[in-house]
Amino acid sequence: MANVLYDALFGVHAGKQTPFLILGDDTVITHDAFLKQAAQFAHLITNAGLVAGDRLAVQIHKSPQALALYAACVQAGVIFLPLNTAYTGSEISYFIENSGAKMVVCDAAFVGALTPITQEFSVQLEVLNSDGSGSFADKSKTLPLDYPTAERGGDDLAAFLYTSGTTGRSKGAMLSQNNLLSNAQTLVEYWQFTKDDVLLHALPIFHTHGLFVATNVCLLAGCAARFYAGFDRDALIKDMPKATALMGVPTFYTRLLDDPRFDHALTQGMRLFISGSAPLLAETHKLFQERTGHRILERYGMTETNMNTSNPYDGDRRAGTVGFPLPGVDLKVCDPETGATLPIGDIGIIEVRGPNVFQGYWQMPEKTREELRQDGFFITGDLGMIDPDGYVTIVGRGKDLIISGGYNIYPKEIELVLDDQPGVLESAVIGVAHPDFGETVVAILVKHSDETIDLNQIKESVGQGLARFKHPRSYQIVDALPRNTMGKVQKNVLRDTYKSLFA
Ligand code: MCA
Ligand code: AMP
């Protein structure tokens, strides 16, 4: 047996002096140099006592080393668990305890917040900074440059990605080697990536989009990625003439369109702009075509499923739709109550099945059973329809979820914090339209009749407990929340009331 994911993504590039990562100052990291660093990291992980199947959690800023740590985990058979760098200590604590991670690698900036947690759960803590410094990097420097790759089959787990839930409790989505590999293979072919491509890689690498879609596609195609620490409009505009493709969330595209330098001439060497993680407004699609002559290719995915659908590479990329089910993916629209498949044109819950669909939630068999059917169909919670031409459109969400700048935010998690605050009787958190982030968070608070609400103190508590991107951008204090006859809060009424808050 071999290591199917390592061999296909990384092993094939052993010894190659071809460019893999190109940094902002045009420094090139070859496949060979990257793999040597990954091998040293794999030795370090193994020397620290981690064996295949153990979990290694990382909270590090985006850098070539951060990506090499992903490769090292795949090579050592260790399950990679990347965490958003915006998470606070209290958010991280849950992931470390729940996953049973044996080692945490973090940026020096997070050591203060993470030390009490790693001590409490007796987990090793190492530092890896984006400039290449830190205890993890130091200890790896003298280790061998090649590593005896751990044998792993397609069903073995490669990564855990935590995804929040409507109950406010995060679940670790278990992704197998084959989940990741099969999806990358499909995407390379569908989007026609070759070794001659140069991808502008400005997404974070702690989520599916930047880590698996963007990175694995590049590795499999053997092409280079221009690698940015984050979205940097000036850098993207400067480098666009040297690139062929961009993957982004809709905010990338609205921000680029806001810049007059982003025009037809600048994009003529580009062959593909891909958007996903959040709905792309038809208006953005249209403006983009008018400005550049390119039609953005929109696709749809989830942490649990990788990519499910895509607009065609050749053929009509229809604004407002997410295209067709990818090859190998079965997709149906079902009645939310009965689960029965609905006819073409009807709106229901999207369910998907295929080699891309995850293995279940870590140590949550009941949650897994609720969302993953016996016959392999995963209930996405997205409301959609299929039109007579086969295009899938997402029309809304059956789940209470806000997507801000491509980050998922579950209102329940914020409501739990708000409901605990002095003076707050109850709360409702909603998403409203936002010109930059697509949607943003608004909190509606109901005051205890005989108490006062101190908004500054509430903001402080929210700041301590929750990542910055989850913070409400507006607080509204009301006498009562609108409810239906069953007593359920009518969030649609609230969304309508506050829809123009950021217009
Ligand atoms: C940053 N901030 C945010 C967000 N990002 N607030 C709400 N939503 C956000 N997404 C905060 C910052 O902390 C800062 O707070 C303030 O907003 C302004 O930040 P700014 O500098 O404008 O932000 P940025 O650093 O430029 O980041 C915006 C971004 C970034 C480029 C849109 O959020 C991003 O890269 N998003 C991509 C997320 C992603 O990869 N999602 C894929 C998930 P302050 O000013 O107070 O300090 S995977 C997925 O969904 C599935 C599988 C799929 O289909 O892909
Ligand atoms: P996550 O849980 O972070 O993987 O986010 C997955 C969710 O993002 C999906 O369930 C959808 O609600 C949403 N999503 C992803 N891509 C698109 C898209 N192109 N259009 C609309 N929603 C999308």
Chain centre to alpha carbon of residue 346 = 29
Domain ranges of the chain: 4-11+26-153, 401-497
CATH of 4-11+26-153, one of 3.40.250.10, 3.40.50.980, 3.40.50.1860, 3.40.50.720: 3.40.50.980
And the tokens for 30?
Answer: 């070859």
- 427 forms bridges with which residues in the sheet? 445
Q: Which ligand is nearest to the CA of 166?
A: 2
Cα dihedral 140/142/148/149 (nearest 10) = 30
Instruction: Give residue ranges with CB within 6 A of ligand 2.
Output: 163, 208, 276-279, 298, 300-303, 322, 380, 382, 394, 397, 403, 408
Q: Is the CB of 275 under 6 A from ligand 1?
A: no
Q: d(Cα 503, Cα 501) in Å, to the nearest integer?
A: 6
The parts of the chain modelled with pLDDT lower than 70 are 1, 166, 168
Mutate to test the pocket of ligand 2, among 170, 180, 277, 408 (most ligand atoms within 8 A of CB): 277
User: Which strands form 19-22's sheet, in the order they lie side by side?
Assistant: 28-30, 19-22, 224-227, 198-201, 245-248, 272-275, 297-302, 306-310, 324-325
Span from the CA of 408 to the centroid of ligand 2 (angstroms): 8
Residue 408 alpha carbon, nearest atom of ligand 1? 50
Distance CA 257, CA 302 (A): 26
Contact between residue 60 and residue 69 where contact means Cβ atoms under 8 Å apart: yes
Question: Whose Cα sits closest to atom 22 in ligand 1?
Answer: 436
The answer to whether 324 and 300 are in contact (CB under 8 A) is no
Backbone angles phi, psi at 437, to 5 degrees: -95, 5
Matching fold, domains 4-11+26-153 and 401-497: no
Q: Which ligand lies nearest to the CA atom of residue 248 in the structure?
A: 1
Whole-number Å distance between alpha carbons of 208 and 211: 5
Closest CA to 394 of 312, 279, 496: 279
Instruction: Report pTM.
Output: 0.97
For the domain with range 401-497, which CATH number is right: 3.40.50.300, 3.30.300.30, 3.40.50.261, 1.20.1600.10? Answer: 3.30.300.30
Task: Assess whether the C-beta atom of 277 lies below 6 angstroms from ligand 1.
Answer: yes
Task: State residue 164's pLDDT score.
Answer: 79
- The reported pLDDT for the residue numbered 168 is 65
Mutate to test the pocket of ligand 2, among 403, 404, 407 (most ligand atoms within 8 A of CB): 403
Dist. CA 386–CA 343, nearest whole Å? 9
Per the structure block, which two tokens stand in for 498?
Answer: 């506050």
Q: Is 309 in the pocket of ligand 1 (CB under 6 A)?
A: no
